[in-house]
Structure 1
Amino acid sequence: MAGVVNYVKESFGELKNNVTWPTWPEAQNLTVLVAVFSIIFSLLIWGIDSVFSEVIAFYFKWING
């Protein structure tokens, strides 16, 4: 149990002293950037899924006559 407590204390020390945190405006800009790319990526995946869905439906319709 002492090992876990020591690990948590050292982790907080690392976060407090050695991590360079972004400024608030930088964090906001990066958040917007991640949101935009997430939306673009999800629309791309949705489009590819829709095309494959249509191709598979056409294939099975063609197979069954």
Structure 2
Amino acid sequence: MAGVVNYIKESFGELKNNVSWTPWPEAQRLTIIVVVFSVIFSLVIWGVDTVFSKVIAAYFNLING
């Protein structure tokens, strides 16, 4: 158990002293970019899925008469 506690202490020390963190305003800006891209990408995927669904439905309606 002492090994786990020591590992956690060393991990926090590493994060505090040796990691260069992105400045908060830049992190916020990048987060907004990721969210906007994710929304746009999901809308594109939804649109393509809708179009393919309608094309496949029309194809099967044409085949089944």
Q: TM-score, normalised by structure 2?
A: 0.80
Tell me the equivalent position of 2:15.
15
Farther off after superposition, 4-13 or 17-26: 4-13
TM-score, length basis structure 1: 0.80
**Structure 1: unaligned runs, 5 residues or longer:** none
- 5+ unaligned residues in a row in structure 2: which ranges? none
Distance 2:33 2:21 in 1: 17
Runs of 4+ that moved beyond 6 A:
none
**Cross-structure match for 2:37:** 37
Note the aligned Cα RMSD (angstroms).
1.5
- 1:8-45 residue CA offsets vs partner (Å, 9 max, x unmatched): 22221221112111112111211111111111111111
Q: Distance in 1 between matches of 2:59 and 2:6?
A: 60
Shift of 1:64: 1.3
Percent identical pairs in the alignment equals 75
CA distance in 2 between counterparts of 1:3 and 1:43 reads 48
